[in-house]
Structure 1
Amino acid sequence: MSQRKAFSAPGKALLAGGYLVLDAHYKSYVVALSARMHAVVAVSHEPRDDNVLTVSVKSAQFNNNQWNYEVRSSDGYKPRERDGLSNPFIQQVLTTVCNYFSSTVISHNCISIDIYSDPQYHSKENTKLVSNGINEFYFHTMDIQNVPKTGLGSSAGLVSVLTTALCSVFKPDLDVENKEHVRMIHNLAQIAHCQAQGKIGSGFDVAAATFGSVIYRRFSPEVISSLPSLEDNNIAELQRTLKDTVDNVDWKTTADSVNFPPGLKLVMGDVNTGSETVKLVQRVKQWYVDNEPKSLDIYNEIDANNIRVIALLQELNELTKTRPEYYNKMIESLGRGEISNYPELCALRTAFHTIRKNFRIITAESGAEIEPDVQTTLLDNCETLDGVIAGVVPGAGGYDAIALITGESTDVETETNDREAFQNVKWLKLQQAQRGLQEEVASSYDNLF
């Protein structure tokens, strides 16, 4: 067994840019989260008579789920699972990465990958907390597909960290501090994620998983839709096109790294009801078409305030350098619930209010419950808490979660404890994170099972 390597990728919250992120005309603000997906990879060389690569992916956390694949260069690395199990995300990562590295794949013949997810990604019902003193994970009694998720981007994180782990096998000098290496991983992960989902999404979740917190503008969908499908008679063409798409094509995307302002933090609350994002998106798209040009006016007002949010967060960062005393007093006042004397904080709250107002209009007219009444009431109640600037239903909205911008010292959990208005919220133990992909110490995952 060769030396092991380990990598992790963060979750995400789309703080500004819901729905508009699907259109390349608009920018969004994506916050990476401290909850991370992990992969530990090892390679061995076993004597065989054929050019077959075996890949074992194990998730001990979820009822010891395991997928055992064989892939062959002769059929374009289509994964064949030994027991007939299906996991489209793992399968598409295997196909995409192996075809990209087609010239070096056959020199490796046995890859083992262990995957882990931090506690915040899934429901904690029927679990056991296991810790080795370095990492701790919840172990579930159910298979992974049967465990409710909290909507933090687990599939994008899984695809991104699996892509990184496999790339490290075929490219031993892989360095997640190298911008070109990370760009390669990002492009491969976007392709695999879209193909696994059967649709070309905006990609903000994969961007956050690879790059960390970013100002994001989506890639051109044609970059992926123009890739040839994998057929037995076009393997060489697919491999050439895939490599060119990853290495040379201009994706026309923006993913500029950002820092959340010092003294502020993002607080996520799991409302534990769940929404079907695909149906919400379909309804909003239909509403947009049926209501032009009014729908364009609404989108433009949302966009103007998204840009305002982005500018204000950047302005707060600048204030820490240009007016540090003023900034520190502002943060202290925020902790006491006193923001009226600080135009920057008032403007940030107003921008979020305007975004929410417009999404409530879309909710009422489209039937897509982006900000349903129960979430409106909850967010309004949250804004009465000391230290809370504003709140939103992140991403596609619905009943999944809420996100609050608060002061760093604000303890929302204590403030809301035993209060009926907040009884349906579980505050997640996470915070914003700047970094995307990270290499970890492989031994820090030992003795977990």
Structure 2
Amino acid sequence: MEMNKEQNFESKCHGKVLLLGGYLILFKKYYGWVISSSPSIKATIIMSESASHNKITVVSNQFSYEAQFEMIPFSKVSGEWNPFIAESLNVVSFIASIMNCGYLLSSKSFLLEINADPEFYTSGKTGLGSSSALICSIISAFFNYLQISDERILHFTCQLANSRAQKKIGSGFDIAAALFGSQLYSIKESDLLKSLLNETINDITVQELQEEISNTVWSTPVRRMELPSHYHLILCQGGEGTDTRSFVRSFHSWYESDIENGKQKMEELFCIVQQSVKLFIDQNRAELRKLSRELRDFWLRTSEAIGVEIMPSNIYSLLNEVTDTCEDVVFSCVPGAGGYDAFYFIVEKPTYEEATEYLSSHFPNLLIIPAQKYP
């Protein structure tokens, strides 16, 4: 297939680390703090000069993946069905059709190249958000080509693709971080999103789409929140990884078994999160170290109550030892849903390299993942 290299449309999206607010962000009234991380995935659309139309060939060396699809109407022609790639293309086809620009997909053929940084795939399961970065990079590249510039439609489309790929509606923080970077995030609840999770996407009109994105959940401004420049995120491998879905199911069962107690615990956690955010803004190192211990203690107690190792006891002990030993560690905990994916330290040093060297000099057995805050 001959390609015109001058007609490329590309997008790069980054991974994430949910620093604060695991499980809180399952509830609309709370927020969490998600940090954008350096590993990224780039999607590049290359226009074909061949005589064929309405075809897209997807290739990725990292995934050892190749497949071909027709875009209008969407269907697989050959190759493996990767749900995150396929649903991204499916939803792009859907949105393009209702916005009357489907002809831009059906009248041409394309090559879609996907290139991912190795940090996503060489350190085991770490929760860095490769699937959300993949979805957002593909859809953003196509929106660039289709000249759809409304970020609300982009956000809705990426959330829809992610939900369809996983066959459920999650909190959505990973998609928001891949699109908009580090932020304080609250869950987006959408009846239209739920209605489009069927095996075949239902027909809706462009007017219905416009009404949906005018809804406050998509129109709410992003509450950007980054780490101070001299505070560096150091992420470490936690073990064999964790089944996040299983943890979330266990959390829901625990919460629903005694809702009043669950609400009380979530209020306690949210108080810690709010205080932590304020102390990071104020760069109050001494109080951050104290509150960090309080957060770890909370998750150890709650792990015992729920019956799953959100804060594994061995990681709890290690985090306490490192934080007590290294005075430049201002905060440490398990990110996201917890477990054995990873754990993190926030280290106060002029550069990321100095921060990693500092930790490694004191604790050389830490398996540091080469993923830092971005930018």
Structure 1 equivalent of residue 331 of structure 2: 390
Structure 1: distance between partners of 2:360 and 2:21: 31
C-alpha spacing 1:399/1:162, structure 2 compared with 1 (3 Å): same
Decide whether the 8 Å contact of 2:45 with 2:110 is kept in 1: yes
Structure 2 equivalent of residue 404 of structure 1: 345
Bigger drift between 350-359 and 384-393 goes to 350-359
Decide whether the 8 Å contact of 1:227 with 1:242 is kept in 2: no
CA RMSD of aligned residues (A): 2.3
Report the count of equivalent residues. Answer: 363
Structure 1: distance between partners of 2:221 and 2:360: 41
Q: Which runs of 5+ in 2 are unaligned?
A: none
Structure 2 equivalent of residue 377 of structure 1: 317
Structure 2: distance between partners of 1:360 and 1:393: 11
Structure 2: distance between partners of 1:360 and 1:428: 24
Q: Decide which structure has the larger Cα Rg and report it.
A: 1
How far apart are 1:246 and its partner, in Å? 5.6
Q: Secondary structure at the match of 1:72?
A: coil
Letter in 1 for 2:292: F
Q: Secondary structure at the match of 1:4?
A: strand
Q: Does 1:217 align with 2:186?
A: yes
Structure 2: distance between partners of 1:57 and 1:99: 18
Structure 1 equivalent of residue 297 of structure 2: 357
Structure 2 equivalent of residue 58 of structure 1: 59
Structure 1 equivalent of residue 204 of structure 2: 238
Q: Secondary structure at the match of 2:14?
A: strand
For residues 244-283 of structure 1, what are the structure 2 equivalents within 5 Å?
A: 244=210, 247-251=213-217, 255-283=222-250
Bigger drift between 194-203 and 253-262 goes to 253-262
Q: Does 1:121 align with 2:106?
A: no
Q: Does 1:23 align with 2:27?
A: yes
Structure 2: distance between partners of 1:376 and 1:47: 61
How far apart are 1:230 and its partner, in Å? 5.9
Q: Does 1:166 align with 2:139?
A: no
How far apart are 1:221 and its partner, in Å? 4.4
Q: Secondary structure at the match of 1:406?
A: strand
For residues 23-422 of structure 1, what are the structure 2 equivalents within 5 Å?
A: 23-48=27-52, 53-63=54-64, 65-73=65-73, 77=74, 79-83=75-79, 85-102=80-97, 103-108=100-105, 109-123=108-122, 148-171=124-147, 181-227=150-196, 229=198, 231=200, 237-240=203-206, 243-244=209-210, 247-251=213-217, 255-316=222-283, 344-383=284-323, 384-409=325-350, 411=354, 413-415=356-358, 417=360
Structure 1 equivalent of residue 367 of structure 2: 426
C-alpha spacing 1:229/1:301, structure 2 compared with 1 (3 Å): same
Decide whether the 8 Å contact of 2:192 with 2:212 is kept in 1: no
Structure 2: distance between partners of 1:80 and 1:40: 20
Decide whether the 8 Å contact of 2:68 with 2:78 is kept in 1: yes
Letter in 2 for 1:359: W
Decide whether the 8 Å contact of 1:182 with 1:211 is kept in 2: no
Letter in 1 for 2:113: D
Decide whether the 8 Å contact of 1:227 with 1:238 is kept in 2: no
Structure 2: distance between partners of 1:154 and 1:352: 27
Q: Which runs of 5+ in 1 are unaligned?
A: 125-147, 175-179, 317-343, 435-449
Q: Secondary structure at the match of 2:254?
A: helix
Decide whether the 8 Å contact of 2:22 with 2:337 is kept in 1: yes
Structure 1: distance between partners of 2:28 and 2:135: 23
Q: What's the TM-score, normalizing by structure 1?
A: 0.75
Q: What's the TM-score, normalizing by structure 2?
A: 0.89
Decide whether the 8 Å contact of 1:37 with 1:116 is kept in 2: yes
Q: Does 1:10 align with 2:17?
A: no
Sequence identity of aligned pairs in percent? Answer: 26
Decide whether the 8 Å contact of 1:58 with 1:114 is kept in 2: yes
C-alpha spacing 1:17/1:238, structure 2 compared with 1 (3 Å): same
- Return structure 1 stretches of 4+ with deviation > 6 angstroms: none
Decide whether the 8 Å contact of 2:125 with 2:240 is kept in 1: no
Q: Secondary structure at the match of 1:368?
A: coil
Q: Could you give the per-residue CA deviations for residues 152-185 of structure 1, whole angstroms, max 9, x where no partner exists?
A: 00000000001111112222xx6xxxxx633332
